Amino acid sequence: MSASKSGRRRAREFVVQGLYQWLVGGQDEAAIQVQSETVPGFEKADTELFKALLHETLLHAGELQGLIAPHISRAWEDVSPIERGILLLATCELKHHLETPYRVIINEAIELAKTFGGTDGHRFVNGALDKLAPELRAAEIRK
């Protein structure tokens, strides 16, 4: 990770990695937190944001999936675990973190998909979130 990354970006990167561990390996929140804290660079992440986003995304995963799934063009199970994690995280932020502008959330999700996802993963993530944002952030988008 480059020195120019913000603590918030790093926190989101660790959340996506944790969600991958949950989706693929079935690890629980406590195990993910312990493991994440041992990774070099974790100390540069916004740890409070990491804990909040990981907890909220796992707690509301079913609801978040229900919100984003109608906006993707394939079955949820056919989406890569990395992209599922990114979509769950971004949906969580759009729904529960109104203090963060929706454009920032979408841009962060695109960057995460470029870093961790497949070749065109960022386009897929962007398309789904562009459709979801007006549902969850209608008042903000109208401004």
Q: Distance between CA atoms of 102 and 1, rounded to whole angstroms?
A: 24
* Residue 2 counted as domain residue: no
Eight-class DSSP state of 38: T
CA-CA distance, 2 to 39, in Å (whole number)?
A: 15
Q: Which pLDDT does position 143 carry in this prediction?
A: 75
- Dmax (CA) for the chain in angstroms is 43
∠48-22-110 over CA atoms, to 5°?
65
C-alpha 62: how far from chain center: 14
Q: Is pLDDT of 30 > 90?
A: yes
- Tell me, yes or no, whether 79 lies in a domain: yes
Is the residue at 15 inside a domain?
yes
Report whether 20 contacts 81 (CB < 8 A).
yes
Note the pLDDT tens digit of each residue in 79-90: 999 999 999 999
> Looking at the domain assignment, is residue 1 inside a domain?
no
Please tell me the predicted confidence (pLDDT) of residue 9: 96
* pTM attached to this predicted model: 0.94
pLDDT band, very low/low/confident/very high, at 33 (cuts 50, 70, 90): very high
Q: In the structure, what pLDDT confidence band is assigned to residue 118 with cuts at 50, 70 and 90? A: confident
- pLDDT reported for residue 129: 98
Does residue 87 fall inside a structural domain? yes
Residue 32 sits in a domain whose CATH number is: 1.10.940.10
Q: What are the pLDDT digits (tens) for 51-81?
A: 999 999 999 999 999 999 999 999 999 999 9
Asked if the structure places residue 58 within a domain, the reply is yes
pLDDT given at position 4: 54
Q: How many domains does the chain have?
A: 1
Q: Residue 106 domain-assigned?
A: yes
Supply the pLDDT for residue 5.
Answer: 77
Q: How far apart are CA 140 and CA 111, in angstroms?
A: 22
**Measured distance CA(86)–CA(57) in Å, rounded:** 10
First-to-last alpha carbon distance for the chain, in angstroms, is 35
- Any idea which of 58-62, 127-131, 139-143 has the lowest mean pLDDT? 139-143
Range of the domain at 127: 7-137
